[in-house]
Structures are given as structure tokens and as C-alpha cells.
Amino acid sequence: FKDNEISVIYVLGGPGAGKGTQSAKLVKEYGFVHLSAGDLLRAEQKDASSKYGELIANYIKEGRIVPQEITVALLRKAIVNNYNQGKTKFLVDGFPRKMDQALAFENQIAHGKFVLFFQCPEDVMLHRLLERGKTSGRSDDNMETIRKRFHVFEETSMPVVDYFEKQGKVLKVSCDHPVDVVFGQVVAQLKKEGI
Ligand code: UP5
Ligand code: MG
């Protein structure tokens, strides 16, 4: 895709920072298409015809990043499907969270315009995820996996945020506030960029 054909905003932040929650609000107010890499992987995992089901399940359970080829292909398919229906504005949530993914996506699919980055203290995220874990059924919402997800986020995903920061593309939002207050910051950041 050329830069004028679609626009992509990456939504990053630690596990439980509120990426999905805020993305859903942006869809309502701005008409973005919301593509959560984690949701796409979980759907692929459940698809009996996929040869990657077991691999994805193992990676998610361990909080590790699924090989980028799989995730980039899922995102590409979702973007192309939406584009063919006339949709051009995308929120890519929870991706890229490793440098190889970032480079593959930027080279093969599109250049992200911005990163909406949710900054959140670990104890707040931990509390949210344990709370959600009571009902989410997610194999990674347990103390052991949450710890691993935090570690991977610091070691592997923060370098991606730093990479885009150097390009002046990171819009920061502090997530430790009620949902509507956080959303107010999101709107203000996007407005500043003319969106
Ligand atoms: N909540 C949200 N906002 C709140 C607020 N302001 N105040 C109070 N509560 C708030 O929110 C989490 C919980 O907090 C919810 O209960 C919500 O109500 C509450 P949510 O919006 O779901 O947060 P989010 O940041 O989306 O958390 P999520 O758990 O989805 O984050 P992860 O980044 O860990 O999960 P994701 O689905 O993106 O990835 C899961 C796994 O998939 C990864 O660990 C990895 O194994 C794999 N993966 C890859 O391999 N490659 C990828 O590219 C992407 C994922
Ligand atoms: Mg999410």
C-alpha cells in the first residue's frame, strides 16, 4: 500500500494497558477499523483448518511472540479484506511488538503514521489482568503468564516503541485513569496531529 491509500495507527502498551478498550472507543467515534493482532491470532488458533493452531496456543500460553510471518500474514489478509470494502483507516492494536515484525510490516504493507502508546504502571496492569482473568477464559490471564508477558514487553516490545520515538511518531497517553479520562487524552493527542 502507498501512504495515501491507507493510514495505519499502531496501538501499543503493556499487557492490560487498555489498548483494546480504547481502540473500541476510537472505532465508534472515528470509524477506524480495529485490528488486534492478539485477537487475530486467537481466532486463527480456534480455526480447525489452520495448521498453526497448536503453535499459536503454545506461544500465547508462554507470553512469547508468535513468529512474525504468521501475524503479518493475518494482518495483511484483514487489511486487504477491509480495503476491498472501501475501508482505509486502521488501528493496529498490540502490534508491532518485536523489531522484526515492525520492519516486515513497514516494508511489506504500510508505514504506520503514529504509535498511540499507553503508559501504565505494572501493578495497575497486573490488577486489571487478574481481575479479567476471573472471566476471560484467556490462557494467558494468570499470574505466571502475566509475569512472562511483562518481561517480554520490556525486553522485546519497548525497543519498538523507542524505534518509533526516534522518528517522532509516538503519542503518549497515561492509562492509569478511568476509561473516559484516558479517552480524553487519546482524542487530544490525535487532534494535535490533525486527526
Ligand atoms: N481496563 C481497561 N482500561 C481500563 C481503565 N482505564 N480503568 C480500569 N480498567 C480498565 O483491558 C484490560 C482489562 O483492563 C479489561 O478488563 C478492561 O476492562 C480493563 P484491555 O483493553 O483488554 O487491555 P489490552 O491492553 O488490550 O490488554 P491485552 O491483554 O489485550 O494485552 P496484550 O498486549 O497482552 O494482549 P494481546 O491480545 O495483544 O496479545 C496476547 C498474546 O498474543 C501475546 O502475549 C503474544 O503471545 C501473542 N501476540 C503475538 O505473538 N504477536 C503479536 O503481534 C500480538 C500478540
Ligand atoms: Mg487487547
The answer to whether 130 and 146 are in contact (CB under 8 A) is yes
The response to whether residue 34 sits with its C-beta less than 6 Å from ligand 1 reads no
How confident is the model over 33-90, as pLDDT tens digits?
999 999 999 999 999 999 999 999 999 999 999 999 999 999 999 999 999 999 999 9
For residue 117, list its beta bridge partners: 12, 172
- Residue 86 is predicted with a pLDDT of 98
- Residue 18 is predicted with a pLDDT of 98
Q: Mean of the per-residue pLDDT values for the chain?
A: 98
How confident is the model over 165-195, as pLDDT tens digits?
999 999 999 999 999 999 999 999 999 999 9
Please, which pLDDT band fits residue 105 given cuts at 50, 70 and 90? very high
Model ipTM over 0.85: yes
Which residues touch 72 (CB under 8 Å, ≥6 apart)? Answer: 101, 104, 105, 108, 109
For residue 174, list its beta bridge partners: 119
- Residue 134 is predicted with a pLDDT of 98
Residue 160 marked in a binding site: no
3-state secondary structure (DSSP) of residue 174: strand
Q: How far apart are CA 128 and CA 133, in angstroms?
A: 8
The CATH classification number of 7-190 equals: 3.40.50.300
The response to whether residue 75 sits with its C-beta less than 6 Å from ligand 1 reads no
3-state secondary structure (DSSP) of residue 2: coil
